[in-house]
Amino acid sequence: MKKLLILILCALVGTKVSAQKEVSAKAIFEAIDKGQSAERRPINYQDVTIVGDLDLTELSNKKRIKRIKSDYEEYKSTVEVPVTFKNCVFQGDFIAYKNIEDKKNKKAGNANINWSFGDGTTFTTDFEKSVVFENCTFKGKSEFKYSDFAEKASFAGTKFAQSANFKYADFNQEIIFAKCDFNEYANFKYSKFKQDADFYDARFNNYADFKYSNFNDRVTFKGSTFKNQADFKYADFKEDTNFDNTKFSSGVDFKYSNGKKYMNK
């Protein structure tokens, strides 16, 4: 009997530890979309699993951006409220950027051939308020290409299981990627860091692309690990950069980069 009670208690404890509330990506999208058009309350989620793809490029405030002499169209959505996710798991893709190619169907004999023309239609998302993704896990892709982060943003302790796309992203205030795990391609090409950038103890398990990145303030990669190629070619370091105890397992390219880079292995 005593052994049976112990087994039951262990099972209950195990259930409590492993159980995590599930929330649909659609419900979160609606909370953001409706909330910012009404009471503008901050969005907060903790210890939840988000099921489905969360696409923030289709918010109600989406606007078409007119570009002169351009072969493609662009639409911009804006998250106008602070968003906070702590210890959350994103099962699907997190979409703040997407591109839909223009396609035409052509008949060739008995076969139909789809072919693309132009650069398609681009959808992007900006964040007007603070953004927090701390100790989260992105199991799908995380697409933040062209996103503008107006206030402080933190991805501290977050794991990116698939590619993390921050190409052309603008970080206007402090950005934190400390203790992050990037398991696939980490794309920060052409990104702009206007204030402090913290990559302390981050782990890049695949190609880390910081080519043409612009660091206007202090940046630290202290204690970080690059298991694949680290590309800082043409990177612009305006202030001091800390690479103390950083491990480059497959080489690093600083060709044509400028600024002070401190390394103490």
Residue 106 has pLDDT above 50, yes or no: no
The pairing of beta strand 137-138 with beta strand 159-160? parallel
Phi, psi of 246 (to 5 degrees): -85, 135
pLDDT of residue 249 exceeding 60, the answer is yes
Q: What percentage of the chain reaches a pLDDT higher than 70?
A: 82
Say how far apart CA 70 and CA 80 lie, in whole Å.
Answer: 28
User: Two tokens at 63?
Assistant: 């606007």
pLDDT at 194 over 70: yes
Q: What digits encode the pLDDT tens for the residues 124-164?
A: 999 999 999 999 999 999 999 999 999 999 999 999 999 99
Sorted by where each begins, the domain ranges of the chain are: 22-100+120-262
Euclidean distance between CA atoms 39 and 42, whole angstroms = 9
Predicted local confidence at residue 95, as pLDDT? 98
Residue 119 to residues 70, 102, 122, 124, 246: CA-CA distances in angstroms?
9, 7, 8, 15, 39
Q: How many CB atoms lie within 10 A of CB 163?
A: 18
Q: Higher model confidence: residue 101 or residue 150?
A: 150
**167-170: long-range pairs with CB below 8 Å, 24+:** 167/191, 169/144, 169/145, 170/194
Q: Which helix (H) or strand (E) covers residue 32, if one does?
A: helix 25-37
Question: What DSSP string describes 40-102?
Answer: -PPEEEESEEEES-EEGGG-TT-EEEP-TT-SSEEEEEEE-S-EEEES-EE-S-EESEEEEEE
Residue 163's pLDDT is 97
Q: What value does the mean pLDDT take over residues 246-264? A: 88
β-sheet bridge partners, residue 49: 22, 89
**63 and 102 Cβ atoms separated by less than 8 Å:** no
In the prediction, which pLDDT does 119 show?
64
At 1, is the pLDDT very low, low, confident or very high (cuts 50, 70, 90)? very low
Mean residue pLDDT across the chain = 87
DSSP secondary structure letter of residue 265: -
Q: Is the dihedral of CA 164, 53, 81, 123 positive or negative?
A: positive
